[in-house]
Structure 1
Amino acid sequence: MLNALEVFTTVTVGVMVGVEFCVAFFVNPILAGLPGDTGLRGRSHGARLLGAVMPFWYIGSLVLAAIWAVAGRHRPGAGLVVIAAGLLVLSVVLSVLLLVPVNDRVKTWNAEGLPADWKEQLNHWDRFHYARVAVIIAAFALLVTALV
């Protein structure tokens, strides 16, 4: 049963990493290159869609890693799982404190009612998102290493 938990946790975190990496390095740059307000509308829609899903994914990944850390505390690699869970806690804290407030504003934007500093706000979100992606990649790498 623990083996299934280890694999399920690793896959769950890995897919989350893939989605967040794709947003950071592909989706947002593609949207930024679109003409007019098309990219902004795309980011606003993405903020609504991913903003609804990602809290469950982040918290779920953290809970799975915590269960793995407790259930596998006597197995090799347990320390790596604990550190990975700590990094997932950090990713949740980064999200709540730095990313969610901007995301909550972006999801309400439209071309007619943009704040004057909208580009700065998007750049702010992007910078913190890169940091969050680095944190969850590190957590994923630790979970994979704990498996082997």
Structure 2
Amino acid sequence: MEGLSRWVLSRRRRRQSAMAGAESTNLRRAGEAVLGVGSYLVNAGGHRAGRLARGVALLSTGLLAGAFAYAVVSVVPTFKAVPLDVHLQFRTALMHMNGIFMQALMAVSLLSSFWLAITLRGAARGYAAGAGSLALTSLLVTRFGNVPINGRIKTWSASSLPLDHAELLQRWEIYHYLRTATAIAAFLLLIVLIDRAGAVRRVGVSESHRASGPQGPVVTTV
């Protein structure tokens, strides 16, 4: 009778141990599943953030470069083609219309480029950081070069111009050419970055197809 009791007790302990082991395994698997889902969500969120940063950076730097380049090929020559009183009226009106917009566009360009750099690694991060630095240069040239001259131009009239007005207008053009060059360079850096990323993806897909072969991947069962 005592032996039977011991056998029942031993069997009960083994069953409890098996149940505890199964519960521990289930908990471990559940934890691994939660970690896997969390990792996927983090990676997916980071991927989406990277795509958003890339789109905003490319759009804003492209608009900035295009606006400055348009001024070089169209607006500045128009200033020189019209009488000075018309030139001053047009320039003053243009300052009121695009002053806030252009500086905001420069800020978005540099912030989105640095944001993109944070989401990248290696050489790609360097390209994005370089684009952000160039956009920052455009902003600084505008703020400390063009804007002070614009403030003086607003006080001018065609009948009472300062003696150095021609020199100031020429200096404004130099600052504008400089900020145009840095804005275009920032845009080109982002284009190179995206082109290189696309080339890497194409190579990866090509190697994957080559490894799988024309009949698909070979599955080996051991």
TM-score computed with the length of structure 1 as normaliser: 0.89
1:52: Cα distance to partner?
A: 2.4
- Among 112, 117, 124, the alignment partner of 1:69 is 117
1:135: Cα distance to partner?
A: 0.9
- Counterpart Cα distance in 2 of 1:147 and 1:39: 41
Q: Pick the structure with more helix per residue.
A: 2
Q: Are 1:104 and 2:151 counterparts?
A: yes
Q: Determine if contact 2:117/2:124 at 8 Å carries over to the other structure.
A: no
- Counterpart Cα distance in 2 of 1:3 and 1:108: 45
Q: Are 1:34 and 2:34 counterparts?
A: no
CA RMSD, 1 decimal: 1.7
Give the counterpart letter for 2:110 in structure 1: L
Q: Determine if contact 1:32/1:40 at 8 Å carries over to the other structure.
A: no
- Among 158, 165, 177, the alignment partner of 1:118 is 165
Q: Determine if contact 1:44/1:108 at 8 Å carries over to the other structure.
A: no
- Counterpart Cα distance in 1 of 2:107 and 2:84: 36
**Identical positions, percent:** 28
Deviation string, structure 1 residues 100-128 (Cα, Å, up to 9, x no partner): 11122223433344322222211110011
1:48: Cα distance to partner?
A: 2.5
1:75: Cα distance to partner?
A: 6.5
Deviation string, structure 1 residues 15-34 (Cα, Å, up to 9, x no partner): 11111111122111112101
User: Alpha carbons of 1:86 and 1:21: their partners in 2 closer, same or farther (altered >3 Å)?
Assistant: same
Which consecutive unaligned segments of at least 5 residues does structure 2 have?
Answer: 1-47, 196-222
TM-score computed with the length of structure 2 as normaliser: 0.61
Q: Which has the larger radius of gyration?
A: 2
- Among 183, 200, 205, the alignment partner of 1:136 is 183
User: Between Structure 1 and Structure 2, how many residues are aligned?
Assistant: 147
Give the counterpart letter for 2:61 in structure 1: V
Aligned residue in 1 for 2:174: 127
